Structure 1
């Protein structure tokens, strides 16, 4: 995938003109489950109920995974004579009873459709049936809609750009909320980022896919992280860059890569939708998914913005490299400054940075260090921090809290001495 990187000022200016869709739902990233990556079309009513029961028994509901979402392939191949989508008669004999039972367990439910003639797997899409289908989905008891981008109508039929194509369903959902008096749907755009959706998606949805489909391998993760490193300004309350489903436990990733995957997605404030067969999940992967300190950053009620790179590391800053993305990231949170150190190398690495390289750190202060993976308090950082022997494709996640003035008498007077000067104009050397 090739793309043109906008300069930081130009991108920030464009994003400033876009307001988030704030209709009372999905102010924070959605946490839950989606069937596609583990099962694709091999889904039925029993699987959905079993999955919900497993999510509850494994403690995933307790830590915030509230959505149980069906993806493609749940419907009959043809609409009824009156034009309605109907569930597969064999695999989903009573879809409303299913959603009622899942709701009774404490979850919400999600479903899937497409902005074109058909879904990506060839089932009925919602083009020219947007309000009809939205009403159907609500009557079936669903709360969330993932909306895909396959089988686009000919230009002389649609007479819309990609924005207008998604606006059709956004308008239908808004109309439905107004006329039904029920809570609005969470609307997740699956547009794959081809038309800079991070610039306009906030007008319509609560999240938007920014790349093509994820695969359970490091190269796929690295490419998605690289792409997202240039568009982090797109995420804030009620609007989130969607980096695609979590691939933990699907094979192809080492344990350290799985931790990096979860950390990068969570701290970038992406929706966290598990795409794993939960009946085969290991305790190690479950432990990653239930890291409440990382989840607390993703679900921060005070700060909605994503972490962003402050230094690329291996490459010069602002370099796009789908194999070796940015390594040094930070961002604000309600409880301190969050750091993510990502070792993109194929060998262990020692990672060092000056604290004030992050724009969220104050000069002349010292900071307590909390490791969000070892769940330990690791002393105080003064001016800089070093993480030793970070594993290949591994991650360090830290929360730094202001701990007062740094000790007096430290030389040099400035830890980052470029353009640092005495009041008489004398520059301070390193």
Structure 2
């Protein structure tokens, strides 16, 4: 789908820019999830085919593969872990066959050094038909804490009738947010990390940070380039929604599940990491390849995702093959940048179906200073690639491939360069004449 944004969407983007100024004020700063969550979620690889042994095996594999050391600290169950009916007293109970002792399971996962996450729903039922938490929010939150969980993914299926719920989407999620806040106050334990799985239909990137630490911005991801491109395109207009304690969630990682080339997998993970999305692996780790593991363990890019000084996402500074601010779900923005504690990070995304040369003037990025030369670090080859003066060219970027760079100031640019301005048609001499080009 291709289209110029209508006037109401342009106004919406101006509003998002204003909101970005106050993100740190309104975000859910309750001591947890200041940075994006890294970990594992069962849904992509297993859906409902989960049990206690699988969770323990997965946690053990994550540790042996070095993923815990790389920062992937959460092992999360998704849907289908419970019995279909609550007890007579109203409690959710784990599936008696597949999760015979869920508390022992979380204890064992914690003993390996991880934290644990669980799933519920803001409606009557989960998306797979298990008990939801509507009208049982505090009861279920207490149960999850008693089982030993630290994180709650909260879905959006089986919404009650209007004359029962009498809430908009904000109020629907606030019910559980209030329960989690009450639980933290009474239990004196750290608050749950609260992940809203609302699919972005009610502009959750505007209000979600009042209640949760992350919020889904689109529908479900699929392991195809078209799905990734559409999610990147959508997120390119709402990057202002991400900062410390609150993150646009672009959905779980599809690396290693088939359907993506190696270059597409690199682009997928790079975009998610640099846009400060939560990074939740959804791969069968017993079959993971060294190439995919290498992507997941790129420590230079992970350091930017987990930057303790700068919390904001990268954003496009030029759309590339489309005019700026063009929404194109097949060919999203190509040129991105953002600040980090140690320089300016750039992502060049080749959305074309063939290799391409990608060129930009450094000062197109708002984070680059004119008149300065920059050292160039390639975050995928892990090499220092000389100094960039005024512009940079990446040649032969693979189809659907990515280049990730970290530029650091390396002194003033050499004297005598003509013209006197990198963007010559915007510069003027002090006597009023334009600088020649």
Could you state the TM-score of these two structures normalised by the residue count of structure 1? 0.97
Residues 242, 311 of structure 2: 8 Å contact kept: yes
Residues 18, 202 of structure 1: 8 Å contact kept: no
Provide closer, same or farther for how the CA distance between residues 121 and 18 of structure 1 changes in structure 2, counting only shifts above 3 A. farther
String of CA shifts for 1:379-403, please: whole Å, max 9, x gaps: 0000000000000000000000000
Provide closer, same or farther for how the CA distance between residues 99 and 344 of structure 1 changes in structure 2, counting only shifts above 3 A. same
The alpha-carbon deviation at position 80 of structure 1 amounts to 0.3
Residues 376, 406 of structure 2: 8 Å contact kept: yes
Residues 115, 127 of structure 1: 8 Å contact kept: yes
The alpha-carbon deviation at position 3 of structure 1 amounts to 12
The alpha-carbon deviation at position 252 of structure 1 amounts to 0.2
Residues 18, 203 of structure 1: 8 Å contact kept: no
Number of residue pairs matched by the alignment: 426
Residues 96, 141 of structure 1: 8 Å contact kept: yes
String of CA shifts for 1:254-277, please: whole Å, max 9, x gaps: 000000000000000000000000
Residues 13, 237 of structure 2: 8 Å contact kept: no
The alpha-carbon deviation at position 123 of structure 1 amounts to 0.2
* Secondary structure in structure 2 of the residue aligned to 1:91: coil
Provide closer, same or farther for how the CA distance between residues 155 and 177 of structure 1 changes in structure 2, counting only shifts above 3 A. same
Residues 18, 199 of structure 1: 8 Å contact kept: no
Provide closer, same or farther for how the CA distance between residues 230 and 53 of structure 1 changes in structure 2, counting only shifts above 3 A. same
String of CA shifts for 1:18-55, please: whole Å, max 9, x gaps: 71001000000000000000000000000000000000
- The CA distance in 2 between the partners of 1:346 and 1:5, in whole Å, is 34
1:268 aligns with 2:262: no
* Secondary structure in structure 1 of the residue aligned to 2:311: coil
Q: 1:356 aligns with which of 350, 363, 376?
A: 363
Aligned counterpart, 1:118 = 125
- The CA distance in 2 between the partners of 1:341 and 1:9, in whole Å, is 26
String of CA shifts for 1:85-141, please: whole Å, max 9, x gaps: 000000000000000000000000000000000000000000000000000000000
Provide closer, same or farther for how the CA distance between residues 238 and 17 of structure 1 changes in structure 2, counting only shifts above 3 A. closer
Residues 414, 428 of structure 1: 8 Å contact kept: yes
Q: 1:173 aligns with which of 166, 174, 180?
A: 180
Provide closer, same or farther for how the CA distance between residues 76 and 223 of structure 1 changes in structure 2, counting only shifts above 3 A. same
- The CA distance in 2 between the partners of 1:355 and 1:274, in whole Å, is 34
* Secondary structure in structure 1 of the residue aligned to 2:328: coil
Aligned counterpart, 2:254 = 247
Q: 1:198 aligns with which of 177, 200, 205?
A: 205
Could you state the TM-score of these two structures normalised by the residue count of structure 2? 0.95
Provide closer, same or farther for how the CA distance between residues 350 and 208 of structure 1 changes in structure 2, counting only shifts above 3 A. same
The alpha-carbon deviation at position 8 of structure 1 amounts to 7.9
Residues 38, 276 of structure 1: 8 Å contact kept: yes
* Secondary structure in structure 1 of the residue aligned to 2:15: coil
* Secondary structure in structure 2 of the residue aligned to 1:320: strand
Provide closer, same or farther for how the CA distance between residues 40 and 23 of structure 1 changes in structure 2, counting only shifts above 3 A. same
Provide closer, same or farther for how the CA distance between residues 382 and 322 of structure 1 changes in structure 2, counting only shifts above 3 A. same
Q: 1:7 aligns with which of 10, 17, 36?
A: 17
- The CA distance in 2 between the partners of 1:325 and 1:344, in whole Å, is 7
- The CA distance in 2 between the partners of 1:176 and 1:345, in whole Å, is 49
Residues 312, 319 of structure 1: 8 Å contact kept: yes
The alpha-carbon deviation at position 301 of structure 1 amounts to 0.4
The alpha-carbon deviation at position 419 of structure 1 amounts to 2.5
Residues 207, 240 of structure 1: 8 Å contact kept: yes
String of CA shifts for 1:341-382, please: whole Å, max 9, x gaps: 000000000000000000000000000000000000000000
Provide closer, same or farther for how the CA distance between residues 367 and 7 of structure 1 changes in structure 2, counting only shifts above 3 A. closer
Residues 20, 240 of structure 2: 8 Å contact kept: no
String of CA shifts for 1:158-192, please: whole Å, max 9, x gaps: 00000000000000000000000000000000000
Residues 16, 241 of structure 2: 8 Å contact kept: no
Gaps of 5+ in 2: 1-10
* Secondary structure in structure 2 of the residue aligned to 1:216: coil
Provide closer, same or farther for how the CA distance between residues 325 and 144 of structure 1 changes in structure 2, counting only shifts above 3 A. same
Provide closer, same or farther for how the CA distance between residues 10 and 362 of structure 1 changes in structure 2, counting only shifts above 3 A. closer
| Structure 1 residue ranges (4+ consecutive) displaced by more than 2 angstroms after TM superposition | 1-11
The alpha-carbon deviation at position 417 of structure 1 amounts to 2.1
* Secondary structure in structure 2 of the residue aligned to 1:351: strand
Provide closer, same or farther for how the CA distance between residues 247 and 4 of structure 1 changes in structure 2, counting only shifts above 3 A. farther
Provide closer, same or farther for how the CA distance between residues 5 and 387 of structure 1 changes in structure 2, counting only shifts above 3 A. farther
Residues 336, 402 of structure 1: 8 Å contact kept: yes
Residues 314, 339 of structure 2: 8 Å contact kept: yes
The alpha-carbon deviation at position 427 of structure 1 amounts to 1.3
String of CA shifts for 1:319-344, please: whole Å, max 9, x gaps: 00000000000000000000000000
- The CA distance in 2 between the partners of 1:68 and 1:240, in whole Å, is 19
| CA RMSD of superposed structures (Å) | 1.9
Provide closer, same or farther for how the CA distance between residues 4 and 211 of structure 1 changes in structure 2, counting only shifts above 3 A. farther
Residues 217, 235 of structure 2: 8 Å contact kept: yes
Provide closer, same or farther for how the CA distance between residues 6 and 314 of structure 1 changes in structure 2, counting only shifts above 3 A. farther
